[in-house]
Chains A and B, each alone.
Chain A
Amino acid sequence: MASTFETVSGIISSSSDVPLEKITPQSHVKEDLGVDSLAFLDIAFEIDQTFGIKLPVEDWIARVNEGKDKDEDYFIVGNLCAQIDSLRVAAAE
């Protein structure tokens, strides 16, 4: 069974034409991989569908804008995967 990182990096690569080998857990989705806002919508859709969750992207952006969290908390690939895992656990409860 593929890990969350393997699945997410595959989604990012297929949705944004970023080579799979360029994606690491430390990659920032926007700054390092150059994913723009429309491509991120495609990625969010694929993640929602694949994992049966709803990424609360608007809440994340609001928290970053309010200074409550850092952008890196959500948009570093490894941290994004951790958020997905938390949402999957919450959805299963």
Chain B
Amino acid sequence: MRLEYFQMLDGIEKLDRDQASLVAVAHVPSDSPVFEGHFPGHPIMPGVLMLETMAQAAGYLLMTLDGFNRMPFFAGVKTAGFRAFVHPGSTLKVNASRLHAGSGYAIVAASLDCHGTRVSDAQLTMRTMPFPSDALARHVRQEGKRLGLAEVEAE
């Protein structure tokens, strides 16, 4: 993770096209200004960043399933739960599974596991639309390469 760039994911470990699901990995940094404020003397990952981590996994899942032709935007969240603290230096498994592919939107169930324990889960609504700029399309495709999507697709 590079929190200051909202770069939440570090790699894609598994992609299942038949099940429309994906597992990513995210390493929470040991040091970050975020933890200086959240909280002094008790550094933990903010829930909003856990949501962002799940939303990014949902986004890469949806982009992969449609060949990186459309951009998913985080539009809504239901039944989010933050079940345990996530400490600096933790490694998270990020699970995303598409529940429904609508017209211009998708519903994704997402969760975070830390050392085998569920620490967060949510149902996300993602609005999908053509890329609003070529620069953004290039960026997310490049990010997909960084995350190893091509390698897990080949497995």
Q: What is the interface of chain A, defined by CB distance below 8 A to chain B?
A: 38, 41-42, 44-45, 48-49, 54-59, 61
Min CB gap A11→B, angstroms? 14
CB-based contact A59/B103 at 8 Å: yes
Range, interface on chain B: 10 to 19
CB-based contact B103/A55 at 8 Å: yes
Residue pairs across A and B with CB atoms within 8 Å: the count is 36
Min CB gap B42→A, angstroms? 34
Q: What is the interface of chain B, defined by CB distance below 8 A to chain A?
A: 75-76, 100-105, 107, 125, 127
**Closest chain A residue to B104 by CB distance?**
A58
Contacts of B103 in A (CB 8 A): 44, 54-59
**Closest chain B residue to A60 by CB distance?**
B103
CB-based contact A45/B127 at 8 Å: no
Bound CA–CA A54/B75 (angstroms)? 19
